[in-house]
């Protein structure tokens, strides 16, 4: 199978998915932070319900993004990037995909293990994936927390790398993910 023609920049759909998912991740960290120290009550449960709804939204959008990416070529990495930078870029993107699925799935499993429902903005309830199990809940909570730290670290590194490319390397890596970047070309 021949390699698909690679566009010079990401198209509108890829950009939209990227920025909506990025915004939802910020919302997720904010909701989790706000709920963390609250006593169990209506306010905490409301924040956690929103956290779950947005988490399931991230899961659905990650699936759409993965399908889109599988059928639409991404722009080439800049030619002057060395092998280590290329490896880091590919590893970071792979880690993002893994985490965009692992975070909501561990959250959903964690809720299932506690027999807490996972509603999607009150429109419908996702089925529990496992039976009530306190030990599984504790393990999944720890995994979910550890994955959130990993996601935060990778997201910060991703932003710093984009800024490095823009301001230090003066290439178009950041611009090609912006709606009005300097590059012209394809529609991924």
Domain residues for the domain of 23 are: 12-177
| Span 108-127, average pLDDT | 96
CB of 75 closer than 8 Å to CB of 8: yes
User: Does a structural domain hold residue 187?
Assistant: no
Note whether residue 39 is domain-resident.
Answer: yes
104 assigned to some structural domain:
yes
Residue 130: predicted pLDDT = 96
The answer to whether residue 6 is domain-embedded is: no
Phi, psi of 142 (to 5 degrees): -65, -45
pLDDT at residue 188 is higher than 60? no
70 occurs within a structural domain: yes
165 within a domain of the structure (yes/no)? yes
* Residue 152 near residue 96 (C-beta atoms within 8 A): no
In a domain, 184, yes or no: no
146/94 Cα distance (integer angstroms)? 17
In a domain, 87, yes or no: yes
* pLDDT above 50 for 185: no
- Give how many domains the chain has, as a whole number: 1
DSSP 78: P
């Amino acid at each position: 199978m021949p390699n698909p023609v690679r566009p010079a920049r990401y198209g509108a759909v890829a950009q939209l998915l990227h920025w909506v998912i990025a915004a939802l991740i910020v919302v997720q960290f904010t909701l989790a932070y706000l709920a963390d120290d609250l006593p169990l009550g209506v306010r905490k449960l409301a924040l956690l319900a929103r956290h779950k709804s947005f988490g399931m939204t991230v899961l659905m959008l990650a699936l759409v993004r993965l399908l889109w990416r599988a059928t639409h070529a991404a722009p080439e990495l800049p030619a002057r990037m060395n092998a280590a930078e290329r490896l880091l870029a590919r590893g970071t993107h792979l880690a993002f995909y893994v985490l965009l699925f692992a975070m909501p799935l561990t959250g959903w499993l964690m809720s299932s293990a506690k027999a807490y429902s996972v509603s999607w903005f009150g429109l419908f309830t996702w089925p529990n994936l496992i039976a009530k199990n306190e030990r599984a809940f504790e393990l999944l909570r720890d995994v979910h927390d550890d994955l959130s730290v990993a996601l935060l670290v990778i997201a910060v590194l991703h932003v710093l790398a984009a800024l490095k490319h823009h301001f230090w390397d003066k290439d178009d890596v950041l611009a090609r993910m912006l709606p009005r970047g300097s590059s012209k070309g394809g529609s991924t």
